[in-house]
Structure 1
């Protein structure tokens, strides 16, 4: 169960790195005479990415706190792992979109972040296994 918290933290770190790359790229990439960061569509992507990352971070931190306090954390660790790995995939995918065609090349690290995010959906229990764990615990009580 503690491993799930670690994977959630890793997924958030991957998402954070991709987000930071996207922000920097958006500030420096010029299209139509201005940085793409000025475009509302890019701003919306960045806002959503930041919000998802923060929510995932708080979820795994709460699970870690419960574990540290010796309180039941099994359910929350599954939720944290599931949510963080899901948002890692979403954020890295959006970071690639912000980069446009460049995002798919090895010249920019966002393509690597996308591949790294995928493994967080698999090890320490797949996302499907996490959903099953969460649902079974919800239905027990």
Structure 2
């Protein structure tokens, strides 16, 4: 938690259309990100995992089928900011995390006004 953000990782939601954990491969979790500070103009939330014996971090999300994400990325960031300013958190019901990963990094990049100067906070969760 910070002055601006509350980030919680929890148990994944279950359902017939949601992915299930696979022993020896990956676990599933949920994530909730709340804006507890100033109103924001735009926000992006990125999740990364580590890989044993590597300094490289791997994104848990990407652009579908290698498409360019930039065109709609700004509109999505503004819509998410509006949602969060209205008190509704970002909620990821079910995401995969490789069993071999020992860290989950949540990166939040946002702007507070129309100036557009990005701010960034990173939250790191480690396996027990």
Normalised to the residue count of structure 1, the TM-score between the two structures is 0.26
Normalised to the residue count of structure 2, the TM-score between the two structures is 0.27
**Structure with the higher helix share, 1 or 2:** 1
**Structure with the higher strand share, 1 or 2:** 2
